[in-house]
Amino acid sequence: MLTNSLTPGAKSPQTGPQPLGGQSAETPASLDGFLCFGVYSTGLAFNRVYKPLLDRLGLTYPQYIAIVALLEKDDQMVSELGEKLFLESNTLTPLIKRLESAGLVTRRRDSADERVVRVSLTDKGRAAAQESNCISADILKATGLTLPELQELQKKLVRLRDTMTAASGKTRAA
């Protein structure tokens, strides 16, 4: 049985807390009434828009965000990159190896601590990041939102993510 998310403080005298979307506890909830499904399905829609754009560059979305994160701050520890991207090492390590095989990044052991692996963009990786700059305009157009609307939505989503991450007991380095 599915469990519905609740709107804090929204209670009906007969049925108790009301699920997001306004359904009562007696009526089945529509998937579109679930905030979590809205976020999930929007993520899938974003992936469908990004895929052909990134295919031209020979990148997957996780590879793309790794390159963007390295462009933002190069020469990162693998653990630091994983925290930034919300990826576990068992997902991140193969991703980095594929980027390295493509000549987009290099990996090296930290000189101060051999246990630490650092990742840096190559010139080819920086060129791929620059080439991907045109994607932003395509994504903005696909959203149907104005730039200010998109920026406001992004701020709210980050706040929601950070609040929910804190509520789950997980920590994330900023």
Beta strands at 6-12 and 76-77: parallel, antiparallel or unpaired:
unpaired
**Element (H or E) spanning 67, and its range?**
helix 61-72
Beta bridge partners of 39: none
- The three-class DSSP label of residue 111 is coil
Residue 149 CA to residue 132 CA, distance in Å, equals 22
Helix (H) or strand (E) holding 79: helix 78-85
**Higher pLDDT residue, 165 or 23?**
165
Amino acid at 90: N
Write out the two tokens for 40: 């999930």
Q: What integer pLDDT is reported at residue 11 of this predicted model?
A: 45
How many Å apart are CA 65 and CA 132, to the nearest integer?
A: 11
Q: What is the DSSP letter of 27?
A: S
The tens digit of pLDDT for each residue in 74-118 reads 999 999 999 999 999 899 999 999 999 999 999 999 999 999 999
89-101 and 61-72 helices, crossing angle to 10°: 80
Please tell me the predicted confidence (pLDDT) of residue 169: 85
Q: Is the pLDDT of residue 20 over 90?
A: no
Tens digits of residue pLDDT in 24-72: 556 567 888 999 999 999 999 999 999 999 999 999 999 999 999 999 9
| Cβ-Cβ contacts under 8 Å for 150 (sequence gap 6 or more) | 140, 143
Phi, psi of 43 (to 5 degrees): -60, -40
Predicted pLDDT of residue 78: 96
Three-state DSSP at 91 gives helix
Q: DSSP class of residue 18?
A: E
User: What is the layout of strands, in order, in the sheet containing 76-77?
Assistant: 76-77, 117-121, 105-109
Handedness of CA 171, 118, 157, 148 (dihedral sign): positive
